[in-house]
Chains A and B, each alone.
Chain A
């Protein structure tokens, strides 16, 4: 490796390098290896062209560590900072220094780098001493120049190194610069990576493109987020290759054990294929994680007693007050914003993997096992990735990519989906801390017995267990539950037992691993003791803290925050106040690494909170955080890192909790796993202790550790209620407050007045709908046959004609026909998905069976090319085909009969001059009695009125034009009017009273519209023209293509339709509520609805609100306000379910109505909760929707599966 690395510096014109024989890596995930053939590690290279490259086996996880390491190199070498570039974590060039975890890069891995830099500086001096015949002691280096004494410039690095190729062995005992001489370390240096990140120039692993690269996606097994047990690797039955045979671009389907992946030419093709691929799995058994505390207690444990001081049992017996309590930490996620990604190129068995791994060398070992290759054959090229904060899926996806690349023999890029990353990332483990203790009569603690249960391991590479390359039956156990398990307080009698337990859900290390939970318990407990003792929480801690730096830290923080001494909760809780405020303190030293571990920076928090008793919302208003990190290499970088820790831990404590059900992890997106947003950010004040002469300490995680206790202690201060489990969400806080303080009653209940339209709805019984409840099918069917046999015999065929010559039509006729075809939406039904316009073949679902639309192009054999005008007109008016057979009224001849002869001729002309397409479509075959087409004659007698439209002289010409279009060609009633048991549109008052289309609800129009804001002519015209109106929402489902077709209509016709559809309603309506009032009233119902449907409220906020909340004028798109959408008002939830499951394509001419489908993200229960929340917020006075789950299941199938 050293030769390889050094060969890259041949172009420098000379260099000095410092190398070392490879060492065994240390730390978590380190794998012992045979070093006999491993080349030397290179730490630094100084080049004659005045560049310096430093090599470090750790990686930059988004913390800016490269900047701090470059500062250390520049400092020790005495060269300008700008000369130094760091290369991190590339297995081909950097030393194997184990995983980048536990904030130890600066504390551990930087040490050899620093020494190597010092050594390089000494070599520069030696070279100068030889060249100038001087003693080395007389020389020193400054800013890359060697001087003699005070200011005699001898030579620059370039002068000294040209032509030199010198490799020197690493010297452990090299003299280091005294800290007092530092010029670069300890000073703020801007991070070197940000300008390129702000301009899109950084190549993240997600951005790696390799020539010939294909795109892969994986399909994960149904044991969601669990990686051990007999079923792992043994659950796949088969994949149905035919299920994606019709999709373009698919190159390969790969299955090995339970590993399933697809490879396609393009990324979106791989996504579509992975979604459509039908995979059959055996039923799986999942651990019960609905009650986490019980699951943790029942998990088999190997206890380790790590502290046993004094006599705990005897001391407990002497306690004046016992306090035995347990604290529970939830499962949480790393939640990288970019789901993991990798590119692998198999290269005939000498693979390269481009990776965002945290642990390049550990990954290489795993991949070697997976592919049965020697480690040395695999090269890992490390790229920056989305921040990981621990072990996410960054390694897993490398295994996936490599398996797929081997299968296709080409480079393959695999990007995990958001849901896959959420479900499968090794979680930050849940943890249960149980404490027994008590105080004596003077309030002093007498004993402290602490037990902690931590279910986690290193999380083996997923591909290794899915393919059963390694045993997955029994999960491994790691001893990582012991971080910061020793309380910082000097309890005379103390016992600490750590229960090492195997993972239940897949879990591995996450920032503040086991220390955040352990410290939450330690520092909540001492707060509880102080409260019982009636002591000031700060003074109580100080009395038990033996550590002088801890005292300094806490006193400085208390001073900065203006701590006021108190005895118990600061003020008696005011039971009449809605918002209660409080302040809490927390303290910890993060101890990381294998027990007893290494202490990183000291940290303490003071948090100010406001608790809303009505909503249960805990808001953190302000935090003061003090940290003692010793000397800080880059204070700006440390501040940045501390801020990150504060904000991320606020998010974890207030909001974050992975949810599970019998299928495993159910948190699949940012709605089901919400994180902190910008408006929730409190005021943050950070105080650094000034310790320039103390060794630097890790700062990657320390500031997180005291967060949870400080916030829980503040909530206790505010409310007198102690929370021992997290997160502090309204769903957890509100019931506990109500129990302790009684439900909050607002002094003056002042409900926001309802808009008029909604008030009118209150108390009115739900509108009953249904196709078959009014008419008896048997009676009707009999009547139909009766009529058929007597009144209307089967009709004669009309002889075919040669296709009419285009010259027989006038251009004016054809042009009018084009508009009329659009008004009639012919192409909407007569075009198959992906098919040629009007060539037929689209299957329409009706309550009577599937109707397949016919070929409307003028092809003589398969289309209507042989139809005379008479045949065409008969079909349009009477529903009889040219061959004399009856057509089904899915073809709306019942409406078309109203069309004038002139217009029918124009439409005929237009259709006959279109390109003929030969396309034979399958014949429609309905079940009995509809299979008997002659029976339709009877149907026509009963239900068909073939009278052409007659104008109403009492109405305006515009209204009449609208009526003609709506009732005739537009055939609006075909969908918007309810049908009877035999599929006929009902008449009279049922006209346009709401019907169905292709499984969607076609809402009632006109006076029966349920729109919260009544339609106006302008609003309706805008909606029909643009597919969207701000006060009503977008056209979705089957209405979207109708809007698209209507683009051909002149504005006057669109307006006429709008006049016809709205005139009566606007006359009848009382003064209308405006959109703003409706929206405001919905907003006011949010908090109450959220208490009843917390899951739905969270999902709305995280999954929906980005597009459905607020005006957000800076964002493109229509941002439909659901309070204004009539679908929320309907008696049935179908349209809302359709939209949530399957999304909505772009409609209308502005193309801004798109919505992604959530069917692979939200499960039935989550969607049901979301629907209940939406209904409660947006449809006041209307009954809750029932049977939600059944409807969701049914509509999942509507578009072909889940």
Chain B
């Protein structure tokens, strides 16, 4: 039995502790936010927050995060509404197919948790290993800038 704290709820799960967190979140807890992208920690589509930092759920076993606070895309919103990072991605239309969007939003949320006022270079560096194939980089950066308190329009368009 593994105990996982996900989106504020404690779950007791009868799975071996070496199962990657991603499959437990998706298949046992029916959470669709984290996506399978590479299984190698390269693309970031599976990102979740673990104690407020971004982790790649495909490459973390659930045993390793038992007892830690896991938040998925579904758990970002509060009673007061969506997370401002989600609001920013909606406002700036920061998605095309949207498959990578989870990783983008989680990464920017984690960046803000660590650094409340990142500059553009810090944003780009934080997103270096979250891959987008649709080429939505312009809109994603605008959304990230907005979420980080920078002027989105200062981005070239």
Q: Are B39 and A643 in contact (CB under 8 A)?
A: no
CB distance from B71 to the nearest CB of A (A): 12
Q: Is A206 an interface residue (CB 8 A)?
A: yes
Residues of B within 8 A of A386 (CB): 35, 97, 99, 133
On whether the beta carbons of A1116 and B50 are closer than 8 Å, the reply is: yes
Known: A387-B134, A648-B135, A677-B129. A1115 touches B63 (CB 8 A): no
Q: Which of B31, B35, B86, B129 contacts A198 (CB 8 A)?
A: B86
Q: Which of B113-131 contact A (CB under 8 A)?
A: 113-115, 121, 123-131
Min distance, Cβ B76 to any Cβ of chain A, angstroms: 8
Q: Which residues of A contact B127 (CB under 8 A)?
A: 677-678
B134 close to A62 (CB less than 8 A)? yes
In the complex the two chains form, is A337's CB within 8 Å of B54's CB? no
Residue in B41, B53, B86 whose beta carbon sits within 8 Å of that of A1156 in the complex = B41
For the complex, give the distance between the alpha carbons of A1105 and B105 in Å: 20
* Residue-wise interface mask of B (33-56) relative to A, using a CB-CB cutoff of 8 A (1 in contact, 0 not): 101111111111100001101111
Q: List residues 337-386 of chain A with CB under 8 A from any CB of chain B.
A: 337-339, 341, 384-386
Q: Is A678 touching B30 in the complex (CB atoms < 8 A)?
A: no
Closest to B102 in A: A200
Total number of A-B contacts with CB less than 8 angstroms?
247
Knowing A336-B133, A678-B137, A1117-B55 touch, does A200 contact B72 (C-beta < 8 A)? yes
Q: Is the CB of B61 within 8 A of A1145?
A: yes
State whether the Cβ of A156 lies closer than 8 Å to any Cβ in chain B.
no
Q: Is the CB of A266 within 8 A of B38?
A: no
Q: Which of A195, A198, A1110, A1145 has the largest number of chain B CB atoms within 10 A?
A: A198
The answer to whether A1106 has its CB under 8 Å from any CB of chain B is yes
User: Are A198 and B97 in touch, CB under 8 angstroms?
Assistant: no
B150 on the A face (CB < 8 A): no
A1105 to B117, CA, bound (A): 24
85-114 of chain B: CB within 8 A of chain A: 86, 89-90, 93-102, 105, 107, 110-111, 113-114
Instruction: Specify which of A335, A418, A640, A685 is in contact with B96 (CB 8 Å cutoff).
Output: A640
A199→B55 contact, CB < 8 A: no
Question: B93 and A62: CB pair below 8 A?
Answer: no
Judging by beta carbons under 8 Å apart, are A204 and B99 in contact? yes
A295-303, A668-676, A749-757 - the one binding chain B: A668-676
Q: Which residue of B lies closest to A191 (CB)?
A: B93
A686-B157, A1106-B41 known; A640 and B110 CB under 8 Å? no
Q: A2 near B: Cβ within 8 Å?
A: no
Among A644, A686, A1115, A1145, point to the contact of B134 (Cβ < 8 A): A644
Contact check, A685 vs B138: say whether CB atoms are below 8 A apart: no
A190 at the interface (CB under 8 A from B): yes
In the docked arrangement, what's the CA distance between A335 and B135, Å?
12
Contact of B43 among A61, A337, A646, A1113 (CB under 8 A): A337
A203/B32 in contact, CB under 8 A:
yes
- The interface bits of chain A over 206-218 (1 if a CB of B lies within 8 angstroms of the residue's CB, else 0) are 1101000001000
Contact B41 A1107 (CB under 8 A): yes
The answer to whether A1161 has its CB under 8 Å from any CB of chain B is: yes
A229 to B111, CA, bound (A): 51
Q: Select from chain B the residue with minimum beta-carbon distance to A683.
A: B156
Closest to B60 in A: A1154
Q: Is the CB of A1156 within 8 A of B40?
A: yes
Q: Does B18 contact A (CB under 8 A)?
A: yes
B40 and A418 contacting across the interface, CB-CB below 8 Å = yes
Determine whether the beta carbon of B45 is less than 8 Å from that of A1102: no
Q: Does B110 contact A337, Cβ atoms closer than 8 Å?
A: no
Q: Report whether B38 and A636 are in contact in the complex, using a CB–CB cutoff of 8 Å.
A: no
User: B30: which A residues are within 8 A, CB to CB?
Assistant: 209
User: Does residue A1152 face the partner (Cβ distance < 8 Å to B)?
Assistant: yes
Binary interface profile of A, 265-291, with partner B (CB < 8 Å = 1, else 0)? Answer: 011100000000000000000000000
Q: Which residues of B contact A204 (CB under 8 A)?
A: 32, 35, 99
Known: A418-B40, A686-B157. A62 touches B96 (CB 8 A): yes
Whole-angstrom distance from the CB of B52 to the nearest CB of chain A?
9
Instruction: Judge whether A675 and B133 touch: CB under 8 Å.
Output: yes
A1103 lies within 8 A of B42 (CB): yes
CB within 8 Å of B: which of A627-655? Answer: 636, 639-641, 643-649, 651
A200 in contact with B33 given A1113-B114, A1155-B59 (CB within 8 Å): yes
- Chain B residue numbers with a CB within 8 Å of A415 are 36
Q: A62-B97, A640-B139, A1114-B113 are in contact. Are A268 and B32 (CB under 8 A)?
A: no
- Chain B residues with CB under 8 A of A341: 36
Q: What residues on B are CB-neighbors of A200 within 8 Å?
A: 31-33, 72-74, 102
CB distance from B131 to the nearest CB of A (A): 6
User: Is A308 engaged at the interface, CB distance under 8 Å to the other chain?
Assistant: no
In the complex where A62-B98, A1106-B44 touch, is A640 in contact with B136 (Cβ < 8 A)? yes
Residue of A nearest to B114 (CB): A1114
Say if the beta carbon of B141 comes within 8 Å of chain A. Answer: yes
**A868 CB-CB contact with B under 8 Å:** no
A63 near B: Cβ within 8 Å? yes
Nearest-CB distance from B81 to chain A (Å)? 11
Q: Does B65 contact A (CB under 8 A)?
A: yes
Q: Which of A641, A647, A678 has the most CB of B within 10 A?
A: A678
Instruction: List the A side residues contacting B32 at CB < 8 Å.
Output: 200-204, 206-207
Residue numbers in B under 8 Å from A63 (CB-CB): 96
Partner of A669, one of B42, B64, B93: B42
Bound CA span A207–B22, Å: 13
Please report the C-alpha to C-alpha distance between residue A1155 and residue B60 in the assembled complex, in whole angstroms. 8
Within 8 Å of chain A (Cβ to Cβ): is B82?
yes
- In the bound complex, residues from chain A placing their C-beta under 8 Å from that of B138 are 643, 647, 681, 684
Least CB distance from B78 to A in Å reads 12
| CB–CB A675/B131 < 8 A | yes
Contact A387 B141, beta carbon cutoff 8 Å: no
Q: Are B59 and A1156 in contact (CB-based, < 8 A)?
A: yes
Residues in A with CB closer than 8 Å to B96 are 62-64, 387, 640-641, 644
Q: B110 and A194: CB pair below 8 A?
A: no
A64–B132 Cα distance when bound, in Å, is 16
On whether A338 and B45 interact (CB within 8 A), knowing A643-B138, A1114-B107, A1114-B126, the answer reads yes
Question: Taking the nearest CB of chain B, how far is it from the CB of A708, in angstroms?
Answer: 15
Asked if A194 contacts B33 (CB within 8 A), the reply is no
Q: Given that A204-B99, A1116-B50 are known contacts, is A198 also in contact with B131, CB under 8 Å in the complex? A: no
Contacts of B44 in A (CB 8 A): 1106
Interface assignment of A159: CB less than 8 Å from any CB of chain B: no
B39 and A1156 contacting across the interface, CB-CB below 8 Å:
yes
Taken together as a complex, chains A and B put the C-alpha atoms of A1115 and B103 apart, in Å, by: 12
Contacts of A1106 in B (CB 8 A): 41-42, 44, 56, 128-129
A1014 vs chain B, min Cβ distance (A)? 30
Assembly CA distance A335 to B37 (angstroms): 11
B19 on the A face (CB < 8 A): yes
* Interface of A toward B, CB cutoff 8 Å: 61-64, 190-191, 193-195, 197-204, 206-207, 209, 215, 266-268, 334-339, 341, 384-387, 389, 415, 417-418, 622, 636, 639-641, 643-649, 651, 669-671, 675-679, 681, 683-686, 1102-1103, 1105-1107, 1110, 1112-1117, 1145-1146, 1151-1152, 1154-1156, 1158, 1161
**Apart from A640-B93, A670-B38, 16 more pairs, CB < 8 Å:** A194-B94, A198-B94, A199-B82, A337-B131, A338-B35, A387-B97, A387-B134, A636-B93, A670-B40, A678-B141, A1102-B42, A1103-B40, A1113-B53, A1114-B107, A1115-B110, A1158-B40
Which residues of B does A touch, CB under 8 Å? 15, 18-20, 23, 26-27, 30-33, 35-45, 50-51, 53-56, 58-61, 63-65, 72-74, 76-77, 82, 86, 89-90, 93-102, 105, 107, 110-111, 113-115, 121, 123-141, 156-157
8 closest A-B pairs (Cβ-Cβ)?
Answer: A62-B97, A647-B135, A1151-B64, A387-B97, A197-B98, A200-B33, A1106-B129, A644-B135
23 contacts between A and B (CB under 8 A): A62-B99, A191-B93, A198-B89, A198-B101, A204-B32, A266-B15, A337-B99, A339-B36, A341-B36, A387-B97, A387-B99, A643-B136, A644-B135, A646-B135, A669-B42, A679-B121, A1103-B40, A1112-B126, A1114-B53, A1115-B55, A1116-B53, A1145-B61, A1154-B59
